[in-house]
Chains A and B, each alone.
Chain A
Amino acid sequence: MKDIAPGLETLEYVFPGERPAGDFAPVLAGVVGSGNLEVLVEPAPGSDCSIRIETSARGFGGIWEAVVRDFHARHPLAGVRVSINDMGATPAVVSLRLDQAVSELTP
């Protein structure tokens, strides 16, 4: 617990996309709750994949970067904005939720 300071931390990552996601209805996966997170995937102009994280667990930027980098390696989407509201989910849950969200993208 001592590692977790109060207040939200915001992290942003941008990756150059490879696979255009096209136009699709925004997808929401998960719920904001203790140990859980909410992932919103929306179409965005341009060819990047931008990921914005708001998390209640501060100080884990290095792990977030590795998690979203691996996510982008699995799904090199282009033209996508991913918004994450996290309440202390483990990396395993984050990865699972991201994969669930992407699997629901239907042009």
Chain B
Amino acid sequence: MAEVKLEKITKKFGDFVAVDAIDLKVEDGAFTVLVGPSGCGKTTTLRMIAGLEEATDGEIRIGERVVNQVPPKDRDIAMVFQNYALYPHMDVYNNMAFGLKLRKMPKAEIGRRVNEVADLLGITEKLKSKPRELSGGQRQRVAVGRAIVRDPKVFLFDEPLSNLDAKLRVQMRTELEQLHHKLKTTTVYVTHDQVEAMTLGSKIAVMKDGVIHQYDSPQSTYDHPANRFVAGFIGSPAMNFLQARANSENGRINLVGKEFRLDIPNPQEMDIQGEVVLGIRPENFSGPVSDGENLVEAKVLVTEPLGNALLVYADCGGEQIVANLDPHQTVEIDSTIKLVVDINTVHLFDRGSENTIL
């Protein structure tokens, strides 16, 4: 067990800055998820923690030790790769035992540990099988088992579920959660899937262009995104963004757009004037209604009944929005509808810097 601490970590590939002076502290026993679009530097960051990539600048600590110059094998970490990276010529037992054998652990102890982990992961019957004889989910379990069996200080996961089909992915996600609950090993997990990030992470770091835009608990990231990028990346379907003109007075903010006029509370009496970007999450729409206050008017393009929700994609003055509505109703395509906005949950972003204003 140990905390992982990155200080001003930078990675350059030639002139390209993959990771730009990031700071990150993963508390002992925490499950931190690095999430972001492809090319955001999350995998590079993970590989630097693993020691597979050398940091151009900055300091990496695992526990109390600075590990920049420590080879991967001496960092006391274990990593699970996206394509499992099992040793194809070894059976499951030897895949898991390989690291222990290299560490000159007594044979009996290796056997005990491998069997224990195989039991934990439900792959005991497969110990004599070669990786190619296993299904995707079983291979993933072996890869996880190979990491657990070493009992490392830190687990590193590099998109471990993205090669699995949707159903299995959800199942393995739950298993990983349970596993972390049981083992309580410090974990850094990389994914581009924000649902995985939200469900697994005790904290999530949202990355883009080599920079961490927000590092917070999943709920807090969802409720209080630091900027427009985070707001749009976290949450599915994504947050709607509408251009608006703001005018604040008397503890209220007036927002006027092409097809709406909102009057939202401004308890801190912030002075917000001029062009802003309004952010509304799909579930913060309700309706449609025939009349009322704080309405957004839009023309329905497509509807997607999901059973537990009705997603309505609509055109709002040239900008596309999506609303998550009560499924027990029908919304006609091409009709013009009025949706009520929950004014206590809207977000405002600066149009230039895209940082959160409200």
Query: Do A and B associate with each other?
Result: no
Interface residues of B (CB under 8 A from A): none
